[in-house]
Structure 1
Amino acid sequence: MFGIFKKKSEREKLNERYKKLMKESHQLSTTDRSKSDQKFAEAQELLTQLDNMEKENS
């Protein structure tokens, strides 16, 4: 009816996880640079997966 019960696609899940990791990375950048870099690297891997998914759909 209003999309309440609509399941998220794999792309939407990856995009939300990417945003969460980038936010965590930014927050950690002021306190623990190595953890921040680790979160950023994870986010970059997700971005690569998202790009690959987009290329496959094109």
Structure 2
Amino acid sequence: MVNPGGNTMFGLFKRDPSKRLFKAYERKLTEAMEASRNGDMRANARLTEEAEALRQEIQALRQA
């Protein structure tokens, strides 16, 4: 059965992919903070860059 919005009847049971990405984003930021505390600025910069890429993906999904 299809509702007027075009989604299937069971569409509400599908997981939101942005939630999974947001958890990964938070994990990367935490790892970056720990790397910074340990004095590993290269790892901090790399992890922060990866987190930023995830944030942009999240934004793109939420706008779509």
Whether TM-score is above 0.5 comes out as yes
Structure 1 SS opposite 2:37 = coil
- Map 1:27-38; keep pairs closer than 5 Å: 27-31=34-38, 32-38=40-46
Alpha-carbon RMSD: 1.5
Runs of 4+ in 1 over 6 A off after TM superposition: none
Distance in 2 (alpha carbons) for counterparts of 1:7 and 1:19: 22
Identity of aligned residues (%): 18
The letter for the 1-side match of 2:42 is S
Summarize deviations over 1:10-44 as a string: whole Å, max 9, x none. Answer: 11110000000000000100220000110000000
Distance in 1 (alpha carbons) for counterparts of 2:19 and 2:34: 23
Cross-structure match for 1:9: 16
TM-score, length-normalised on structure 2? Answer: 0.72
Cross-structure match for 1:47: 55
Q: Highest Rg: 1 or 2?
A: 2
TM-score, length-normalised on structure 1? Answer: 0.79
